[in-house]
DNA sequence: ACGATCCTCTACCAATTGGTAGAGAGGAGT
DNA sequence: ACTCCTCTCTACCAATTGGTAGAGGATCGT
């Protein structure tokens, strides 16, 4: 078979947890979607929580990979910020469940937040150092790099994922809409970050 | 009694739905917290969903009030943006469940998104017009006001509510931390919006 | 032919879920 | 004394939840 049952379960779980949410997705629903029995799922994973953790682990390493690929390119200044925004948007379009899962994990009640941040802490540190370096070199407006990173995170993830808000605001959620949002977001960030 | 049972139920529901989430909060849990029986809750509200809708209605009008109060002041340009950010932060500190509920409603699966946007649509329109006016007057950098509004929304709500992310990034979630975040956010937004 | 291992299944289970039916307490108006 | 209305309760229910126990089929090396 092209894909093992275990992989299929993880795929379906990522989709479901990243869109509908963890709490509302029952094992039965997951199993039905896959055309198998709930007990088959519980053969591969000891509990529902364990599935979630496995999904988070896989999603986190996918995310980290995206960032590390871009970091390895060694681009500097605002061009690097723009490149990362583009990559996040590509991810949001191609695999919206991935960013949806991030939002699910970062909810107040979530248990797996530490699991996620264990993966992402290195790239957060790296991003902070990057911002600090670029500020020192005068290629970026000086400010607190940690707080700036938080603002950047919120803005990019929000614009990329808040589809319901956009719909409510009357903004198209088509692919063209996504491109327009990305373009506007990059203009917005460039304006905020350009050195004086 | 100072507060009717109905009001107490709505208060507890707002807190629970805005922090733990709608799906994971059972009627029994709500009732236990209030020291009453679940059936008492169902006397005041026909169903669990109806409670949610009532909570959304109340929260929405509270939110709208905050915006309308500030809009009535007739401040212009970036000072008005700053004033609104400050008000949102005050809300995030005093009543974090309110913004938490917004995030709950704007989740992909939510049924009450239209209910919320029915309340908020007027202030969105007003905000868009405001941005357009300020741009035309040269008090703000020109761009697509609708997209800009989305970016502003994402950034402000994100920085104000993503406490788990901040904790994972090692940022303090104390009151002092909130003030620092607000300050940095305002600097960030001013830089992004200042006319060239 | 053999057991061993891997995988998926049927059959259950206790706990929890949202919701229904209706009793009964208390006060207000007559 | 009477009924009516408001409110909270006990008792119950069918459906769904995550999870256990263990049977049975396939495929493997021996």
Which one of A25, A169, A178, A190 would you mutate to disrupt binding with B, by most B Cβ within 10 Å of its Cβ?
A169
Q: Is residue A99 domain-resident?
A: yes
Element at A133 (helix H, strand E): helix A113-136
Output the DSSP codes for A9-63: HHHHHHHHHHHT-TTT--HHHHHHHHTS-HHHHHHHSSSHHHHHHHHHHHHHHHH
Segment A27-53, tens digit of pLDDT: 999 999 999 999 999 999 999 999 999
Q: Which of A21, A108, A159 sits opposite B151 (nearest CB)?
A: A159
d(CA B105, CA A165): 9
d(CA B184, CA B178): 10
Cα dihedral sign, A18-A22-A24-A27: positive
Percentage of residues in chain A having pLDDT higher than 70: 99
Q: Is residue B22 domain-resident?
A: no
Q: Which nucleotide is nearest to A1 (CA to C1')?
A: C7
Higher pLDDT, A176 or B136: B136
Phi and psi torsions of B35, nearest 5°? 70, 30
Q: Is residue A27 domain-resident?
A: no
Residues in chain B: 196
Question: Is A176's Cβ below 8 Å from some Cβ in B?
Answer: no
**Residue B58: predicted pLDDT:** 97
Question: pLDDT at residue B1 above 80?
Answer: no
Domain with A126 in it: what CATH number?
Answer: 1.10.357.10
Question: pLDDT at residue A91 above 80?
Answer: yes
The mean pLDDT value for A59-78 works out to 96
Q: Is residue B73 domain-resident?
A: yes
Question: pLDDT at residue B89 above 80?
Answer: yes
Q: Which of residues 34-73 of B touch strand C (CB under 7 A)?
A: 38-39, 42-43, 46-49
The mean pLDDT value for B14-41 works out to 96
Which one of B162, B179, B186 would you mutate to disrupt binding with A, by most A Cβ within 10 Å of its Cβ?
B162
Coil, strand or helix: which one is B169? coil
Number of domains in chain A: 1
Q: Is residue B141 domain-resident?
A: yes
Taking alpha carbons only, the member of B169, B47, B41 closest to residue B112 is B47
**Residue B173: predicted pLDDT:** 83
Q: Do A106 and B144 touch (CB under 8 A)?
A: no
The mean pLDDT value for B97-107 works out to 95
The mean pLDDT value for B129-149 works out to 96
Question: Is B115's Cβ below 8 Å from some Cβ in A?
Answer: no
Q: Residues with Cβ < 8 Å from A16, sequence gap 6 or more?
A: A25, A29, A30, A33
Output the DSSP codes for B3-39: S-HHHHHHHHHHHHHHHT-TTT--HHHHHHHHTS-HH
Percentage of residues in chain A having pLDDT higher than 90: 86
Phi-psi region of A154 (alpha: psi -120 to 50; beta: other; left: phi over 0): alpha
Question: pLDDT at residue A1 above 80?
Answer: no
Q: Is residue A75 domain-resident?
A: yes
Segment A132-184, tens digit of pLDDT: 999 999 999 999 999 999 999 999 999 999 988 998 888 888 888 899 999 99
CA geometry: angle A35, A41, A44, nearest 5 deg: 135
Segment B7-23, tens digit of pLDDT: 999 999 999 999 999 99
Q: How far is the CA of A39 from the C1' of D20 (A)?
A: 10
**Residue B192: predicted pLDDT:** 97
Range of the domain at A168: 56-193
Higher pLDDT, B63 or B196: B63
Q: Which residues touch strand D (CB under 7 A)?
A: A 25-29, 38-39, 42-43, 46-49; B 4-5, 36-37, 39-40, 43-44
A86-90, A169-173, B192-196: segment of lowest average pLDDT: A169-173
**Residue B84: predicted pLDDT:** 98
**Residue B2: predicted pLDDT:** 54
**Residue A173: predicted pLDDT:** 83
What is chain A's mean pLDDT, rounded? 94
Q: Is residue B12 domain-resident?
A: no
Q: How far is the CA of A42 from the C1' of C9 (A)?
A: 12
A1-10, A74-83, A154-163: segment of lowest average pLDDT: A1-10
Q: Which of residues 32-71 of A touch strand C (CB under 7 A)?
A: 36-37, 39-40, 43-44
Higher pLDDT, B3 or B53: B53
Question: pLDDT at residue A2 above 80?
Answer: no
**Residue B172: predicted pLDDT:** 85
The mean pLDDT value for B105-131 works out to 93
Q: Is residue A26 domain-resident?
A: no
């Amino acid at each position: 078979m092209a894909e093992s049952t275990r992989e299929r379960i993880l795929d379906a779980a990522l989709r479901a947890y990243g869109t509908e949410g963890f709490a509302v997705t029952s094992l039965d629903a997951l199993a039905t979607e896959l055309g198998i029995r709930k007990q088959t799922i519980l053969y591969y994973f000891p509990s529902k929580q364990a599935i979630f953790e496995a999904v988070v682990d896989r999603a986190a390493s996918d995310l980290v990979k995206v960032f590390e690929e871009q970091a390895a390119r060694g681009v500097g200044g605002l061009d690097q910020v723009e490149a990362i925004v583009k990559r996040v948007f590509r991810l949001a379009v191609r695999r919206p469940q991935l960013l949806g899962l991030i939002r699910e994990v970062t909810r107040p009640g979530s248990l797996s937040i530490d699991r996620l941040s264990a993966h992402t802490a290195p790239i957060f540190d790296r991003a902070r150092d990057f911002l600090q370096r670029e500020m020192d070199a005068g290629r970026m407006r000086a400010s607190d790099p940690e707080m700036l990173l938080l603002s950047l995170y919120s803005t990019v993830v929000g614009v990329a994922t808040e589809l319901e808000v956009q719909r409510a605001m009357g903004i198209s959620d088509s692919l063209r809409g996504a491109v327009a949002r990305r373009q506007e977001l990059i203009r917005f960030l460039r304006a905020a970050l350009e050195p004086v």
